Amino acid sequence: MDLRNRTKTIVAVALVAAGCLALVIGWPGGKKGTVRNFAKEPTITVYIKEDDRKEEMPIEEYIAGVVAGEMKPNWPLEAYAAQAILARSFTMEFISRGGTRALHGTDISTDHEEAQAYNADNITPIIRRAVEMTRGEVMTYNDQYIRAWFHSYSGGHTATAKEGLNFQEDEPPYIRSVKLKDNPYAPADVKEWRASFPLTKVQDTLKEMGVDVGEIREAEISKKGSTGRATELAFRGTKGRKTVPAADFRVALDAMTMKSTWLSRFEIQGKNLVMTGKGFGHGVGLSQWDAYMLAKEGKSPEEIVKHFFKDIEIKKLWD
């Protein structure tokens, strides 16, 4: 082999190797997010927030940690397995868009505000079994990875992305708004909840959102979506009346205390903003407590996820 051909061969081998490394973090030669099969289970890089370090691990090991971080202990096997399909789908779609490379130089992060919750210490034998039984399975639509949204409890009716998340792009065709029967397994504090916030905190939150109404005098729900969730909130103060997207306000204020935007009461009482509502989370995609109910009814993991997403195909990308 002459020097020129040898050089071409070396370059070609290097490009193939680089392509293999990039299978998870990008899809060379095709549209980002396009589904493709893998010869073997991919290895990904994970930023471990708690220890401020980077770790390389098989993707299924990461998925087990996500299921353990996102779901409570002692849940049905099929509910864990449905969450594994979601977590794997979320991961592949997220990484296809660049992941956390710009932030940490990794494919993904254990910071739930950046990606998904992760808790390796909570992995149990049943979680490992759930991950293994769905190994390599992801949800796809038109050969693209989907945005696999999920939340704690729907309140009985899941939302569209625009209603629940103030999603600014076109409504994804695979998101469906699903009515569900009364859930006997959902805790009382997510079926109905009450929250109260000092007006000073509300004013600070609005300012962080670029809204200044001065001292708040009134608050109301100014717009609702198709399921009855608030989509716009109005505040009147000494500097006038202004509105904010309800989903954005919830996240900015305290999404763990203002559990949802499905509000039955939203008003000023003394020096506090008082609200009552139902459900926990944005309401889009899979409802975890409803997945629990469906698992108890004998539904398979694949049937559970298809209950919340329409026209999707579940593909197995590696053995």
> Residue 296 pLDDT more than 70?
yes
| Separation CA 180–CA 144 (nearest Å) | 28
The pLDDT, as a whole number, for residue 32 is 65
225 neighbors 163 (Cβ within 8 angstroms): yes
b vs e for 3-38, b when ≥16 Cβ sit within 10 Å of the residue's Cβ? eeeeeeeeeeeeeeeeeeeebbbbbeeeeebebeee
| Separation CA 284–CA 217 (nearest Å) | 32
The pLDDT, as a whole number, for residue 9 is 37
290 neighbors 309 (Cβ within 8 angstroms): no
The pLDDT, as a whole number, for residue 11 is 35
Please give the single-letter amino acid code of residue 57.
M
Q: In the sheet where 144-145 sits, what is the strand order?
A: 144-145, 137-141, 313-316
Bridge partner list, 53: 48
pLDDT for 121-131, tens place per residue?
999 999 999 99
| Separation CA 128–CA 174 (nearest Å) | 28
Q: List Cβ neighbours of 65 (8 Å cut-off, separation of 6 or more).
A: 110, 118, 119, 120, 123
b vs e for 60-71, b when ≥16 Cβ sit within 10 Å of the residue's Cβ? bbbbbbbbbbbb
pTM of the model: 0.88
Q: Mean pLDDT over residues 131-143, rounded?
A: 97
| Separation CA 79–CA 50 (nearest Å) | 27
Please give the single-letter amino acid code of residue 112.
H
* SS3 state at 121: helix
The mean predicted confidence, pLDDT, of the chain is 91
* 229: nearest Cα among 248, 247, 210, 244: 247
| Separation CA 227–CA 204 (nearest Å) | 29
pLDDT for 11-62, tens place per residue?
333 333 333 333 444 433 346 678 989 999 999 999 999 999 999 999 999 9
> Residue 212 pLDDT more than 70?
yes
pLDDT for 51-94, tens place per residue?
999 999 999 999 999 999 999 999 999 999 999 999 999 999 99
| Separation CA 229–CA 132 (nearest Å) | 37
Q: Compute the half-sphere exposure of residue 69: CA atoms within 13 Å on the CB side of its CA.
A: 18
Rg over alpha carbons for the chain, rounded to the nearest Å, is 22
The pLDDT, as a whole number, for residue 19 is 37
In terms of DSSP H, where are the helices of 97-197?
Answer: 101-104, 125-133, 161-165, 188-191
Residue with tokens 């490379």: 101
